[in-house]
């Protein structure tokens, strides 16, 4: 009886303690994602993008052989034509090497001529009287002919090499350009591959600007339009130069989320744009009101499908609550800069671009990086 009383008391105690325990709340799951804010392409025409001028071609010239300079008459700022000799190394040692190589080649050719004559002679004797000449003598004469031919091939290569080295004593301009830097002076001893001068071609000017992700597809459109950008350089603030897009970078910077875009323009006749000059660029045209052009281009990583149907979705962020809501969208072509969205999103909305497969409806998110992105095509 006492045993059952003890068990009953223990059960009551456990039930009492269990009732006193507070319910442990579940920890809220907050996903970290990357987002973009969809914007209008009109922002491109309202912004100036800074950059710096650079020559379309720039090279540091050097000799492929060593020796003392004997002719270095160009100066900084001189314009030189393609193939003009801009510097010269004393060629005398190389001329001697070439003559020696040619002399050895001529000597070997004379040896070959005698060897071939001897070989032909013993062959004729062998044919007339097989016992007059041994086969070993014929073989030795034949071997001398073959080895001399091999030596001539080697000497021909030596002559070519000596001739090349002599030609390397003349440093020629690879294109029309301007001498921007001289690293040595005349009569100095220079080594192979030592920079002698820098030559730039500034008949055309390039400038690299960094375009945000939201405008990069607009840059694709502008590239097709030709010289529709305007550039102003700081030394000439009132002068606008027409420019086009030469190249669009395919990878955004991980820190700034911008793409490098290379502009190209002709050198103006009335001013002289030099490499290193700072400037800024902007678009001079819009994209028009065509429905196809006004489709939005966003990163491909922003769209997904559930597998339950053939529809395409994206997550739209409620900026006031930082919660996501799934929305169906109609997509179009896939471009280098992203995927075209014809319907389902408007400029000003924030969408998720990374982490879309780990979200659920009405889930709260932590934004890793918000930037103004997405642009009408």
Average pLDDT (51-56) is 92
36-52 per-position pLDDT tens digit: 888 666 666 778 999 99
Token pair, residue 70, equals: 């004997």
| Pairwise CA distance, residues 118 & 120, whole Å | 6
pLDDT at 294 > cutoff 60:
no
pLDDT tier, 372 (very low <50, low <70, confident <90, very high otherwise): very low
Predicted confidence at residue 153, as pLDDT, reads 95
> 9 or 319, which is more confident?
319
What pLDDT does 195 receive? Answer: 96
Query: Rounded to an integer, what distance in angstroms lies between the CA atom of residue 274 and that of residue 75?
Result: 17
Range 294-308 average pLDDT: 80
Distance in angstroms (rounded) separating the CA atoms of residues 80 and 179: 8
With a CB cutoff of 8 Å and minimum separation 6, the contacts of 107 are none
Residue 22 has pLDDT above 80, yes or no: no
Helix (H) or strand (E) holding 47: none
| Alpha carbon distance 173, 163 (integer Å) | 20
Higher-confidence position of 51 and 221 = 51
pLDDT for position 327: 92
pLDDT at 295: 64
State the chain's mean pLDDT as an integer: 84
375 pLDDT more than 50: no
Model confidence at 2: pLDDT above 70: no
The pLDDT > 90 percentage for the chain reads: 47
Contacts made by residues 89-92, CB under 8 angstroms, sequence distance 24+? 89/63, 89/65, 89/168, 89/169, 89/170, 89/171, 89/190, 90/169, 91/166, 91/169
Q: What is the pLDDT of residues 181-191, one digit of tens each?
A: 999 999 999 99
The CA distance from 335 to 343, in Å, is 17
**For the chain, first and last CA: distance in Å?**
88
Contacts of residue 118, Cβ cutoff 8 Å, sequence gap at least 6: 141, 144
Angstrom distance (rounded) from CA 273 to CA 278: 10
Ranking 214-218, 220-224, 267-271, 365-369 by mean pLDDT, the lowest is: 214-218
Structure confidence by residue, pLDDT tens digits, 146-164: 999 999 999 999 999 999 9
At 21, the pLDDT band (50, 70, 90 cuts) reads low
Per the CB < 8 A criterion, the answer to whether 356 and 304 are in contact is yes
Structure tokens at 245: 């897009």
In angstroms, the CA 199 to CA 151 distance is 42
- Please state the separation of Cα 42 from the chain's center in Å: 29
Q: How many residues does the chain have?
A: 377
Instruction: Provide the pLDDT confidence category of residue 376 given band limits of 50, 70 and 90.
Output: very low
In this prediction, residue 34 has a pLDDT band, given cuts at 50, 70 and 90, of confident
Lowest mean pLDDT among 124-138, 147-161, 213-227, 263-277: 213-227
The answer to whether the beta carbons of residues 261 and 15 sit under 8 Å apart is no
| Confidence band for 90, pLDDT divided at 50, 70 and 90 | very high
- Which residues have CB under 8 Å from 113's CB, separation 6+? none
270: left (phi over 0), alpha (psi -120 to 50) or beta: alpha
Measured CA to CA, the distance from residue 359 to residue 342 in angstroms comes to 24
């Amino acid at each position: 009886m006492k045993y059952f009383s003890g068990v009953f008391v223990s059960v009551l105690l456990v039930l009492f303690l269990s009732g006193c325990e507070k319910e442990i709340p579940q920890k809220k799951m907050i996903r970290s994602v990357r987002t973009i804010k969809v914007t209008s392409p009109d922002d491109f025409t309202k912004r100036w993008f800074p950059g710096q001028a650079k020559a379309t071609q720039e090279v540091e010239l050097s000799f492929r052989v060593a020796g003392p300079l004997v002719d270095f008459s160009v100066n900084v700022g001189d314009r030189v034509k393609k193939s003009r000799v801009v510097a010269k190394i004393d060629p005398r040692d190389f001329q001697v090497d070439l003559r020696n190589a040619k002399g050895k080649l001529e000597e070997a050719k004379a040896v070959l001529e005698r060897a071939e004559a001897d070989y032909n002679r013993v062959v004729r004797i062998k044919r007339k009287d097989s016992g007059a000449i041994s086969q070993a003598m014929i073989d030795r004469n034949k071997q001398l002919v073959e080895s001399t031919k091999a030596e001539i091939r080697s000497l021909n290569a030596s002559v070519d090499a000596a001739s090349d080295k002599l030609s390397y004593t003349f440093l020629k301009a690879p294109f029309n350009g301007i001498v921007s830097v001289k690293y040595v002076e005349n009569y100095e001893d220079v080594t192979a591959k030592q920079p002698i001068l820098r030559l730039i071609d500034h008949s055309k000017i390039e400038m690299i600007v960094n375009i945000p992700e939201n405008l990069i597809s607009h840059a694709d459109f502008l590239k097709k339009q030709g010289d529709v950008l305007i550039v102003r350089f700081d030394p000439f603030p009132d002068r606008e130069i027409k420019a086009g897009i030469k190249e669009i970078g395919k990878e955004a910077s991980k820190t700034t989320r911008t793409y490098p875009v290379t502009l190209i323009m002709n050198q103006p006749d009335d001013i002289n744009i030099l490499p290193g000059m700072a400037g800024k660029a902007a678009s001079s045209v819009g994209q028009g009101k065509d429905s196809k052009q006004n489709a939005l281009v966003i990163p491909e990583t922003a769209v997904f499908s559930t597998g339950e149907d053939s529809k395409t979705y994206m997550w739209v962020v409620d900026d006031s609550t930082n919660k996501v809501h799934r929305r169906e969208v109609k997509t179009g072509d896939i471009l280098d800069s992203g995927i075209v969205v014809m319907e389902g999103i408007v400029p000003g909305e924030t969408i998720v671009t990374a982490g879309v497969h780990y979200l659920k409806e009405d889930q709260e998110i932590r934004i890793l990086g918000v930037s103004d992105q997405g642009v009408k095509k």
